Structure 1
Amino acid sequence: MTQPQAAAFDFLLGKWNVRHRRLKERLYGCEDWQEFSGQMHAQPILGGQGNMDDNLLNLPDGPYRAISLRTYDPENDIWAIWWLDNRTPHNLDVPVKGWFEGGKGTFFADDILNGIPIKVRFQWTRIATATPRWEQAFSSDGGLTWEGNWTMDFSKQE
């Protein structure tokens, strides 16, 4: 049986260790990846109609903190996800919007990167396992091609 959309992010609640892998430069043909650790703690909000997480990202250049805010719209059966971090504490990213189907969540947004219009895609996979994965990709050609530029692999903290 398919999990109701309102409970789709329940797999993420709790405390996690995170293994990050991201491109140093995006949409420039860069093949130089950074790998670093992090921690994340996700909890429900809005009576279960949303969740948020507190993140510590241990970048090689120094750590920073961030939050993800996710809310569910039952009328339209869709999730929205925002990102905010302490490097630019007054800049809430454009939300990606989407849903879960077939054990995978896919979310899209239109945004701007270095003055260039792009499409953003988030995907959540392996959600029914002990090691869920988040992936981010950008497209500068309207979604014809995608450059994967960041993955996060999660493992529950003991």
Structure 2
Amino acid sequence: MRNTDFDFLAGHWTSRQRRLVKVLSGVDEWYEFDATLDCQVLLDGSGVFDVLRAPERDIEGITLRLFNPEERVWRIWWAAKTSGGQLDVPVVGRFTDGVGVFECDDTWEGRPIRVRYTWSGADTGQPRWEQAFSPDGGRTWEVNWVATFRRD
């Protein structure tokens, strides 16, 4: 059976990105920039690959998403040109009622954190992605990166 969870993301997008200047510092100072996203849905919907580019911030990264039909979960890996050829620890999760939530344990600047990606608005034509970190095992979260996409 074909997986359609990320079909909304196929194609070329422009986006407005917002990131915290200093993550997990308690300071609410953001910077903004534009980016493009080129996304392919592959493997009958069970594989999704995209490239994010934000030249003004010297950001280029790839995302690989793979769906496991037995577990009914996605694993999502990110790698940036600054990551030394390494994929990040994958976030794992699923879509429920049109919202995708994906989490994992990782580290940030040497300290253990919980990472969460959330996809929403897939049916609006302007999907939104956000990344949040939790330094306390998921009790509290700090959103540190938000992207709103629109068709180019």
TM range (shorter): over 0.9
Tell me the secondary structure at the aligned position of residue 129 of structure 1. Answer: coil
> Whole-Å Cα distance in 1 between the matches of residues 113 and 52 of structure 2?
25
Range with bigger deviation, 16-25 or 62-71: 62-71
Partner of 2:148: 153
Amino acid at match of 1:110: D
Amino acid at match of 1:130: G
Partner of 1:138: 133
**Structure 2 unaligned runs (5+)?**
none
Tell me if structure 1 keeps the 8 A contact 2:7–2:45: no
Partner of 2:33: 36
Range with bigger deviation, 7-16 or 48-57: 48-57
Range with bigger deviation, 134-143 or 47-56: 47-56
| Residues matched between the structures, number | 152
Question: Alpha-carbon deviation of 1:5?
Answer: 8.3
Percent of residue pairs identical: 43
Amino acid at match of 2:126: T
Amino acid at match of 1:96: V
Tell me if structure 2 keeps the 8 A contact 1:131–1:153: yes
> Whole-Å Cα distance in 2 between the matches of residues 69 and 89 of structure 1?
16
Measured on the aligned residues, the alpha-carbon RMSD in Å equals 1.4
Counterpart selection for 2:70 from 75, 80, 93: 75
> Whole-Å Cα distance in 2 between the matches of residues 138 and 55 of structure 1?
21
- 1:102 matched to 2:93: no
> Whole-Å Cα distance in 2 between the matches of residues 24 and 5 of structure 1?
40
**Structure 1 unaligned runs (5+)?**
none
Q: Over residues 24-78 of structure 1, what are the superposed CA-to-partner deviations in whole Å (9 max), with x where a residue is unaligned?
A: 111111211010000000002234311100110245xx42211110000001000
- 1:24 matched to 2:24: no
Tell me if structure 1 keeps the 8 A contact 2:3–2:44: no
Range with bigger deviation, 25-34 or 138-147: 25-34
